[in-house]
Amino acid sequence: MFRSVLIANRGEIARRVMHSAKALGMRTIAVYSEVDADALHVAEADQAYLLGPAPANESYLCGDKILEIAKDAGAECIHPGYGFLSENADFAEACEAAGITFVGPSAEAIRAMGLKDAAKRLMEDAKVPVVPGYHGDHQDAEFLAREAARIGYPVLIKAIAGGGGKGMRRVDDAKDFAKALEGASREGARSFGDGRVLIEKYIEQPRHIEIQVFADSHGNAVHLYERDCSLQRRHQKVVEEAPAPGMTDEVREAMGAAAIAAAQAVDYRGAGTVEFIVDASSGLKADGFYFMEMNTRLQVEHPVTEEITGQDLVEWQFRVAAGEELPADQHELHIEGHAVEVRLYAENPAKKFLPSTGTLHRLKFPNEDGHIRIETGVTEGDEVSVYYDPMIAKIIAWDTTRDRALNRLEAGLHALEVVGVKSNAPFLAKIVTHPAFRNGDLDTGFIEQHLDALVPQDEKPGAVEKALAATALLCHRQGEAEIRAMGSSEPASPWEALDGFRVGGFSEETLKFSGEHGFEVAARYADGEISLLIDGVAHEVEGELSDEGLAAVIDGVHYSAGVLWMANRLVLMHGGRSYDLPLENPLAPVLVDEGNAAGLVAPMPGKIVSVLAGAGDKVRRGQPIIVLEAMKMEHTLSAPSDLKIDQIKVAPGDQVDDGASVVTFLSP
């Protein structure tokens, strides 16, 4: 076994490879771009080397630089993960020439499967079923039009070097063929440097089912069953599961045998995925699947296979690359339970899935256990940049049946807390709960067909969310009141209370939340209990706020919610959604621009009673700084966040106007 490995990747896959490498006793070497200097995969590696600037073509795609680092660091092997250099035959060749093992197939196998037309001719020779079509070198437009007519419409035009849906066009009628061909060829040339195309029969109700294969250098080859990747958007996978819904032993055996034949046709070594298009118009059949392509690397969705087989596929990769035989024979492998994976992305489904960049102010995942698995490359406080894929994490759920696994996944998605960027979590939750998906009625057009039902609208907070927000605000203010009371000469004074106390009136106050979905809640206090009047309905509430969030009881029902305070906003996270609720409070401390510093201003005219901090002091959010007397009451101005005081601009006895600057802070 190897003693050291350089992982030529980043993010969650770099961490995933590192986990298995460390378990095998290997020294792990990371590489990183300038923007990834503080990334998790860098912190967790035994050594880490800077590659270069953020753009991938100046860092993670620089094979020569990576090889130079590998030599300097004494790496015995390089694991490419997926993406970047993982299917780069020239890089695999360069590794071998440098005497460093490439953890993956040979350069010859990568090249053989890299071009779709050549790969399909290989599969035809190996008796692997392929979609009826034309995969030849003749690229004359009129000839290709005749071939399309021979195959029969609808047809699919595909760039031979394509991937990710680029260079692909569906054509339903002969009159549209020429324009579609021109577009596919142009996109293929622009994206892959090759404008050649192939033509295939378009399967009307296609499912995308792939088989995980493994082969070693001793002539052994096995499959580790199938994964259904039919739920796609723009040819990009969104949900993956194993085993495939509706799969029979007969079809599984036929597909597994075909996948092994495909691997053996190119003398394959290591992990690979043979992808099939399946005609689901009349159910899964042993003669109803066709070879699409082979991915000569580990797949993003490999965890679902690991969950149902109990095998560590990355460990298998290392063992095969080290010259060992496969860890198990076919008869030793079996399926246990069901696993589903979703990809959590920083993107906005309501705006055509545009990527969302920014700081992850809050990132909280469901607890990992025997049923939930999280793979991520980021943590709270990290930046989602424009340079790389905006995937935040993969969330994998396993249980004994598909229904139970989906229930686990649904609960996990509802427990997610993501603030700072938009995420597709609500979109994923709607997929997981959609009746057709739960019934296994799926194909590659599922998301497009149900898009209106799946894309979450900008939902207003309901009564529960309003009650949770109000309860969180009251708990927060109560905590601040207790801090003030400890520094007061009369801690039991009604002026220190937050119960709506007034002389000759009821104990009641109005809590105001502004913003697009602003609302008001009337809080009533009696005998130590609180009721909230929301949209004309009274609700009895109690709650406790901690670092873990809000634990509340509303009308006898227990709820939990995430709470994040950002300046004068409360961000409530509940049911997998976040609600950004600005606080409409005339006494709330407001940070304003004070030139080179941020400052606090007086919320109303009044007299400065006392100053509780001084210049240079570091203050924490909620810490009292100024006590202001106004309207015959004392009001405490507290730090809105953790800051350092630059200047105190007032003194006890000073009269101040509304909006007067009283404190400045050093720029955060």
3-class secondary-structure state, position 340: strand
Q: How many CB atoms lie within 10 A of CB 3?
A: 12
Establish how many alpha carbons lie within 13 A of residue 122's alpha carbon, considering only the half-sphere containing its beta carbon.
22
Q: How far apart are CA 599 and CA 661, in angstroms?
A: 7
Q: How far apart are CA 519 and CA 583, in angstroms?
A: 10
Do 173 and 210 contact (CB within 8 A), yes or no? no
Read out DSSP for 1-63?
Answer: --SEEEE---HHHHHHHHHHHHHTT-EEEEEEEGGGTT-HHHHHSSEEEEEESSSGGGTTT-H
Q: How far apart are CA 175 and CA 181, in angstroms?
A: 11
Q: Which of 631, 640, 629, 632 is nearest to 665 (CA)?
A: 640
Q: How far apart are CA 628 and CA 655, in angstroms?
A: 9
Do 173 and 148 contact (CB within 8 A), yes or no? no
| List 297, 343, 373, 577, catalytic entry | 297
Q: How many CB atoms lie within 10 A of CB 581?
A: 24
Q: Would the CA dihedral through 111, 199, 293, 191 be positive or negative?
A: positive
Q: How far apart are CA 357 and CA 54, in angstroms?
A: 15
Q: Identify whether 243 is preceded by a cis peptide bond (ω within 30 of 0).
A: yes
Q: How far apart are CA 625 and CA 613, in angstroms?
A: 5
Q: Which of 617, 556, 552, 570 is nearest to 473 (CA)?
A: 570
Do 347 and 236 contact (CB within 8 A), yes or no? no
**Burial of 478: CB neighbours in 10 Å, binned 0-12, 13-18, 19+:** middle
Chain centroid, CA 244 distance in Å: 23
Q: How far apart are CA 345 and CA 377, in angstroms?
A: 12
Q: How far apart are CA 250 and CA 286, in angstroms?
A: 7
Interacting residues of 482 by C-beta distance below 8 A, sequence separation 6+:
none
To the nearest 10 degrees (0 to 180), the angle between helices 116-125 and 249-265 is 110
Q: Which of 223, 235, 318 is nearest to 273 (CA)?
A: 223
Q: Is 16 a catalytic residue?
A: no
Tell me the catalytic residues: 297
